Structure 1
Amino acid sequence: MQTTSSEKAIKMSSLSGTDPGAGINIEKQETTDLESLSPGTDFQGNPELQQERTRDDDHRGGGSIGAHVTQSWVEHPKNRLHEFGFVAVLVSSQFMTQAGLAQTIAPLQIIGDSFGSTSPGQLSWFPAAYSLTVGTFILPAGRLGDLYGHKKLFVAGFFWWGLWSLIAGFSVYSGPILLYFCRAMQGIGSAFCLPNAIAIIGRSYRPGVRKQMMFSVFGATAPSGFVVGAAFSSLLAEFVWWPWAFWINAIVCVMLAVLGIFLIPATPPPFLDETETTWDRTDALGGLTGVCGLVLFNFAWNQAPVVGWQNPYTYVLLIVGLITLGIFGYIELKVTKFPLVPFRDMALDSGFVLACVALGWSGFSVWTYYFWQFLQKLRHLSPLHASAQFSPVIISGLIAAATTGFIIHRVPGSVLMGISLLAFTVGLILLTTAPVAQTYWAQTFVSLLIMPWGMDMSFPAANLLLSNKMPRDQQGVSASLVNTIINYSISVALGVAATIEEHVNDGGADLLAGYQGAWYLGIGVSAFGILVAVAYAFSERRAAKN
């Protein structure tokens, strides 16, 4: 049988791509134009590309999002300098998200004192309000990017983020309520940037070592973003004025939005179905019930430490939130044609991945929040000194991310998740059992070295595993799922931890007992995650045998 030029190109690229160190050959593999190939093209030399082709072909035939194709793949810049800027702008969304979280965790006591807020429940709202909206609005943001173009949503997200960062600085003249609100609005900007940045990477790079490294780089910016955000916000809070951290954040967000306009290529929606209404295509009913349910449930958990569970509106909101989330699940499974969460299409291993991420990052959020309180209130360090002690996570995180990028295609997903959850658990145990008077270089330092392995193995692995299982037109949904789980878990875990702290710290007389109670919660959820990873491994083995 005669071999076409397209078939030769695929076969040559699959052979040349076998050497991970051959950068030019991998580039050849990635520039193969799948859209120009017929569904019958021979992909036997490269099963990953075959799966990509099959998913997109099946998706088009099923009429899920689009009746016709616009452009499934996005061509990443070929000029090395341009590509560096392209990737840098995209990963800045992860960097800025973590820096935004640190904005109120590091100088928490200074911000609280300026408002006269001392209650753990009130203070926890400064980071929790931010994570709440990041985790809640990522789902609709990813879908909107799939439908109307990821670049548009990415740029708009940074402009929105900058606006509310500017207003947040002026909350110093109002009170904590305005800052809570501005933090929530900041989170919406981050929610629009994160999934659309990941989706652009998912559409720009074919499966292979290069794509794996891009996701690892994306994850590696998380620890450095947190440390830089903590250091600058602490420096400004101690020596200038804490609102300047928000005003500078506003300037940076606007600059990144402008750079995104010039450095990111056009990203038209991959599939369009003009026969369906916007209401249907966006799954507006699902988005409305999902957002409402998540906000109500999370608000109840985080408000309970402030007003007490005995307050009727706390548990009423919790119950209403759970009912609304149940309605959301029914809509996604039975009603909508275009679900925000494709439960019907998700494989069992995707559920395992998301469960591992939720449990691990819940423990991580508790570790992070109370680590800063431990250093500042019990070891009496300034926010800037605490930031310096936190800085080893940058190096450890970079090593973890690079390692993940190189081994992710050789190691089963369950193993990666198991290692990350073990790192979360061990890091929490070390900090929980550290005496207040102990030297920093003992358990505290070791905990800081271990925890980034949990972050920077689970995040890129989860994103890559889901990205490779999703068709091109659902890359925004894929990115949304992982980031929703991470950020929503952070917010819920902080609410539960604050409740535990309030009940075991003897009215504020025993701070260490309160922090340790919260950390024990983190140890419990992370250790349970290890069991989930073991179940995931058995599931993988069973699937391999079949």
Structure 2
Amino acid sequence: MTPEQSTRWKALTVALVAGFMTLLDVSIVNVALPSIRDELGLSPAELQWVLSGYALTFGLLLVPAGRFGDARGRRDAFVAGLILFTLASAAAGLARSALWLVVARLVQGAAAGIVNPQVSGLIQQMFEPKERGRPFGLLGATIGVSTAVGPLLGGLLIALIGPSEGWRWIFYLNVPIGVVAVWLGMRWIPAVAGKRRESLDPAGVGLLGLGVVLLLLPLVQEREWQGSGKWLVAVAGVLVLAGFWRWERSYGRTRTALIELGLFKVRSYALGALIGLLYFAGFTTIFFIYTLYLQSGLGYSALEAGLAITPFAVGSAVASAIGGRFVQRFGRHMVVGGLVAVVAGLAATDVSLRLVPGSGGGWAAALPLLVAGLGSGFVISPNQTLTLSEVPVARAGSAGAVLQTGQRIGTAMGIAAVGAFFFNRLAAGQGDWGGAFRGALWLTVSFVAVALAAALADVLSGRKHAADPGRDPVDVAGGQDVEQRPA
């Protein structure tokens, strides 16, 4: 390995560690929610905001931060975001009220949104197209494992330190890691050779953020806001998002819009982004409702709840590494197979919990969760690679950021929708945690099933295009047709 190759793998290692840390905070908090609720007196809506607020600001900053990294240098954006994330983590650990914690989580999510698009952008900057399978495989493993292993790590901290202080160390843990990552990032990540000015489309950011928040509010506040009038807020959110779409079309005629709509004329990118949004709407909500059910419904400790989810983490880690190596051979068929395994595994989880009632149910569900985890590993990494396969390097950061924006917004909306369903069923069933969990589980399965339909549509469309080789290619920049990949 040459010194240049060694340096780029060191840079990738730093980037993946930072990405792991920011993505870990999507799920590590789940297992600590009962402790946080008891310590700070959080309501169900505030519990949801601790999770969905992080995902929301994470998603909203991804695209402008990706564009900033493309134009002004990915190292500078990476380091700045990492410093902010480290400070916000310390603030979250020091929280003395629900509002304090929610605000710290919003800032933490925004910082994560600055860091993450630089990771996928750096991969496409430092590696040639034929070399990207392994780095993207590692990125997919990082995404899958960080989200899945969070509850186990959180449970360990709470078991070792205690419920009242253990949840705070979930956030404090980021501080020393962040400091070291900032130092190594400045040393190893290459600086940009030249810088260019580029609009960040602040009006587009504002419209997208307002639209998504208006959609989430009536879901998260469903039990606090009485009457049916609250759903008019969601209607307003749809109208704002329609306005956002029109603004992007108009703005993009003369300048670079927040979201380059021409990307969605590419079949692999459009369907891949949709699959990511839908899958993450179901995938990340599993940990939210399952850890609450295990601890509050079955009486598990935080550590036991984390251990019960570990099979999913193991399966996801193994399959992510394999998926990155074979994605070019199997294409979207691998994603279809992975989604089928996730649906089957989650359905079998419900069956296991019914057949083995009581505290043994969590352990009986270990094998089905392993199957679901294996499927998840074959979804995340391959979908990432296939979706970005035709994107020009100059737009790597922003295109990858749009993809992750969909994933984060999907996470926020999934937590809001599934959380509202879960707490309503819990209240209606007078504390029937099992019934509330099983109903919410099937809602998450429905998100994954729709993602499966989108993946099947891509496979079938790919066969159609393969049979019509004379079709014009697609130009991403101008919105015309660009080269189609083989199915």
Calculate the TM-score normalised by the size of structure 2.
0.87
User: Do residues 525 (structure 1) and 447 (structure 2) align?
Assistant: yes
Residue identity opposite 2:378 in structure 1: M
Aligned to 1:165: 89
Q: Distance in 1 between matches of 2:148 and 2:325?
A: 25
1:374 is aligned, of 293, 296, 318, to 293
User: Do residues 143 (structure 1) and 59 (structure 2) align?
Assistant: no
Q: Distance in 1 between matches of 2:226 and 2:414?
A: 16
Deviation at 1:447, TM superposition (A): 2.6
1:194 is aligned, of 113, 116, 135, to 116
Q: Distance in 1 between matches of 2:457 and 2:116?
A: 30
1:395 is aligned, of 314, 319, 332, to 314
Q: Distance in 2 between matches of 1:364 and 1:394?
A: 12
User: Do residues 221 (structure 1) and 221 (structure 2) align?
Assistant: no
Q: CA RMSD in A?
A: 2.3
Calculate the TM-score normalised by the size of structure 1.
0.78
2:207 is aligned, of 266, 289, 299, to 289
Aligned to 2:184: 259
Q: How many residues of Structure 1 are paired with residues of Structure 2 in the alignment? A: 457
Q: Distance in 2 between matches of 1:394 and 1:507?
A: 31
Q: Distance in 2 between matches of 1:251 and 1:311?
A: 47
2:58 is aligned, of 134, 156, 169, to 134
1:279-428 map, 5 Å: 281-305=199-223, 307-308=224-225, 310=227, 312=229, 314-336=230-252, 337-346=255-264, 347-413=266-332, 415-428=333-346
Q: Distance in 2 between matches of 1:266 and 1:284?
A: 26
Moved more, 479-488 or 289-298: 289-298
Indicate if the aligned counterparts of 1:431 and 1:444 stay in contact, CA closer than 8 A.
yes
Moved more, 422-431 or 177-186: 422-431
Q: Distance in 2 between matches of 1:130 and 1:464?
A: 25
Cα displacement string for residues 423-468 of structure 1 (whole angstroms, at most 9, x for unaligned residues): 2212221222323337468751123212333432332223222332
Deviation at 1:195, TM superposition (A): 0.9
Residue identity opposite 1:407 in structure 2: F
Residue identity opposite 1:462 in structure 2: N
Deviation at 1:213, TM superposition (A): 0.9
Cα displacement string for residues 492-540 of structure 1 (whole angstroms, at most 9, x for unaligned residues): 0111112212332325421111111111111222122222222211110
Aligned to 1:431: 349
Aligned to 2:4: 78
Indicate if the aligned counterparts of 1:396 and 1:453 stay in contact, CA closer than 8 A.
yes
In structure 2, relative to structure 1, the CA distance for the partners of 1:93 and 1:287 (3 Å cut) is same
Deviation at 1:232, TM superposition (A): 4.0
Aligned to 1:466: 387
Deviation at 1:351, TM superposition (A): 1.6
Indicate if the aligned counterparts of 1:360 and 1:454 stay in contact, CA closer than 8 A.
no
Cα displacement string for residues 183-206 of structure 1 (whole angstroms, at most 9, x for unaligned residues): 111101111111111101111111
Residue identity opposite 1:78 in structure 2: E
Q: Distance in 2 between matches of 1:352 and 1:227?
A: 24
Aligned to 2:471: none
In structure 2, relative to structure 1, the CA distance for the partners of 1:147 and 1:79 (3 Å cut) is closer
Residue identity opposite 2:70 in structure 1: D
Q: Distance in 1 between matches of 2:395 and 2:415?
A: 30
Aligned to 2:474: none
Indicate if the aligned counterparts of 2:69 and 2:76 stay in contact, CA closer than 8 A.
yes
Q: Distance in 1 between matches of 2:311 and 2:87?
A: 32
Residue identity opposite 2:234 in structure 1: L
Q: Which structure has the larger Rg?
A: 1
1:90 is aligned, of 15, 25, 40, to 15
Instruction: Give the unaligned 5+ runs of structure 2.
Output: 469-487
In structure 2, relative to structure 1, the CA distance for the partners of 1:486 and 1:447 (3 Å cut) is farther
Q: Distance in 1 between matches of 2:362 and 2:443?
A: 25
Residue identity opposite 1:152 in structure 2: D
Q: Distance in 1 between matches of 2:53 and 2:240?
A: 20
1:448-463 map, 5 Å: 448-463=369-384
Q: Distance in 2 between matches of 1:423 and 1:129?
A: 30
Cα displacement string for residues 149-171 of structure 1 (whole angstroms, at most 9, x for unaligned residues): 11111111110111111111221
Percent of residue pairs identical: 23
In structure 2, relative to structure 1, the CA distance for the partners of 1:108 and 1:345 (3 Å cut) is closer
Indicate if the aligned counterparts of 2:346 and 2:369 stay in contact, CA closer than 8 A.
no
Aligned to 1:246: 171
Q: Distance in 2 between matches of 1:135 and 1:400?
A: 26
In structure 2, relative to structure 1, the CA distance for the partners of 1:304 and 1:83 (3 Å cut) is same
> What secondary structure, in the 3-state scheme, does the structure 2 residue paired with 1:371 have?
helix
Indicate if the aligned counterparts of 1:132 and 1:298 stay in contact, CA closer than 8 A.
no
